[in-house]
Structure formats: C-alpha cells, structure tokens
Amino acid sequence: MSDTPTDTETAGRRTFFTKIAAVAAGGLATLAPLAAGVWMTLDPLRKRAGTAGFLPVTDAATLPDNGMPRQFPVIADRVDAWTGFTAEPIGAVYLRREKGSDSIEALSATCPHAGCFVELDARDRCFRCPCHNSVFTLDGGIVSPSPSPRPMDSLECRVDAKGGVEVKWENYYSGIAEKVPRS
C-alpha cells in the first residue's frame, strides 16, 4: 500500500522536518547516557598523585661510606581508590655515600626507560635493568649505548638532626629524555 501524494511540496517539507526531528530526538536521547559515560570515564584525569613529601627511609648510620649503594623500600600511607593502606611499600630507592663523604645520594629504583625495577650488580659495580638491558653507573649515569633515554632519576634526600635519612619520593614519566614528575 502506498500513499498518493496530494501536495508534494508540503509533504516533502514535512518529511524533511520529520527526518531532522527524528535524528535530533534520537541523537539527543542517546547523547545523555553517552555524555554521562564519557564524563565518568574521564574521572582518572582529575586524580593527581599527591606528593608524599619527605619520607623517612633509614638511619644514616646503616649506610657504609664505600660508594656502594644499598636498596631501601619507601614506606608511606597510600590510598587506592576506596582502600586506604597504612605504611605500605610504595617503591624503592638506592642510597649511597661516597668514600669519606657525609652527603647521601638517592636514586629511584624505577628504570627511566620503561619502568622496570633496576637491580644492583655489586660485582661489576653498576646498575642493570633486567628488562631491556639498560646499564647505569653507581651514581645513576648512563652507560652507552643504552636503550634508556636518561640517567636514573635522582631523588631529593636529606638527613635530619637525629641521623634519619629522608627521601622525597616521586614517580617520573618514563621513556623521555626529560625528568617530568607525574604529580
């Protein structure tokens, strides 16, 4: 069965508006859940890694002044969405003291190349990343040729009056030449 057009011009105009209206109504109706969904999906962009500030890591007395780094866990309270953790290991640092020096250097154990865990090779006196074979000197410098675009990330470090070593823990973007903090 088909309609017989009586006034094609009016019918044509009416059909055109009907089409527009149908598309608009349907589109708007779908847009609501879509927009709400996108809004919620983008939520993580609001989250910023709160800087934990200086965290106590160890006692300066435990650090030999032989230039050989030692690994320490970084402990802090941590929040993961709805779960709160108290005193959880959130990362690891290498601390070292040069011969006869009082100042302590701190290096993040996270590889600046792709984020693996850099290991200390005491025998060869260097750091090695087990993932893509980046090698670093004991002070974190690059050993060329290296897949890593930059030296190991040094962290701010201070010793308080009682001899406690504190490190300012920070995560950096990996794979780029600049040291850009994530926070």
Partner 1 sequence: MSSPDASRGRGILGQLADFLDDRTGYRGLLAEALYERVPGGARWRYVWGSTLVFAFITQVITGLVLWSSYSASGQTAWESVYYIQHEMAGGWLVRGIHHFMAQAMVVLLALHLMQVVIDGAYRAPREVNFWLGLVLMTLVLGMALTGYLLPWDQKGYWATRVATNLAGLVPFAGPAIQQLVVGGSDYGHHTLTRFFALHAGFLPATLVLFLVVHLTLFRKHGLCAKQPITKPDGMFWPDQLLKDTVAMLAVMAVVLGVILLPAMRAMLEGRPIDPGELGAELGAPADPAQPYAAARPEWYFLFLFQFLKVFEGWGASGEFFGAIVVPGLVMAIMFLMPIIGRWKLGHRFNIAFTLAILAGAGLLTAMALNEDYAALWSDRAAYADVEKLIEETGNDPAAIATALDHDEGKIADFHRRARALEKIRRSEAFLAAVQQAKQDAHRAVELAGRPERIPPGGALELVRADPESQGPRLFAQHCGSCHAHVDPDDPGAEAVFAKSSAANLFGFGSAAWMRGLLDPAQVAGPAYFGNTAHAEGDMVNFVTEDLTDRDEWSEADIDAVVAAMAAGAMTHAAAVSPPDAKLVERGRELVADEARCGGCHHFGDNETELGYAPDLAGWGGREWLVGIIADPIHERFYGESNDRMPSFGVAEEGAMPAMSDEEIGLVADWLRGDWYRPATGK
Nearer of residues 8 and 156 to partner 1, judged by Cβ: 156
Tally the C-alpha atoms within 13 A of residue 178's C-alpha that lie toward its C-beta: 3
Give the nearest distance from C-beta 2 to partner 1 in angstroms: 23
16 to 55: interface string for partner 1, x by CB under 8 A: -------------------------xx-xx-xxx------
Which among 112, 115, 174, 165 is positioned nearest to 141, based on CA atoms? 112
Q: SS in 3 state form for 114-180?
A: CCCECEEECCCCEEECCCCCCEECCCCCECCCCCCCCCCCEECEEECCCCEEEEECCCECCCCCCCC
Give the nearest distance from C-beta 131 to partner 1 in angstroms: 6
C-alpha torsion angle, residues 167, 168, 174, 178 (rounded to 10): -110
Return the structure tokens found at 163.
């001899």
Determine if 179 is a binding residue for partner 1 (CB under 8 A). no
Nearer of residues 92 and 98 to partner 1, judged by Cβ: 92
Nearer of residues 15 and 62 to partner 1, judged by Cβ: 62
Give the nearest distance from C-beta 73 to partner 1 in angstroms: 5
Quickly count: other Cβ atoms within 10 Å of residue 157's Cβ: 18
Q: Which amino acid is at 159?
A: V
57 to 96: interface string for partner 1, x by CB under 8 A: xxx-xx-------xx-x------xxxx----xxxxx----
Enumerate binding residues for partner 1 (CB under 8 A): 41-42, 44-45, 47-49, 56-59, 61-62, 70-71, 73, 80-83, 88-92, 109, 113-117, 119, 124-125, 128, 130-133, 144-147, 149-150, 160, 162-164, 171, 173-177, 182-183
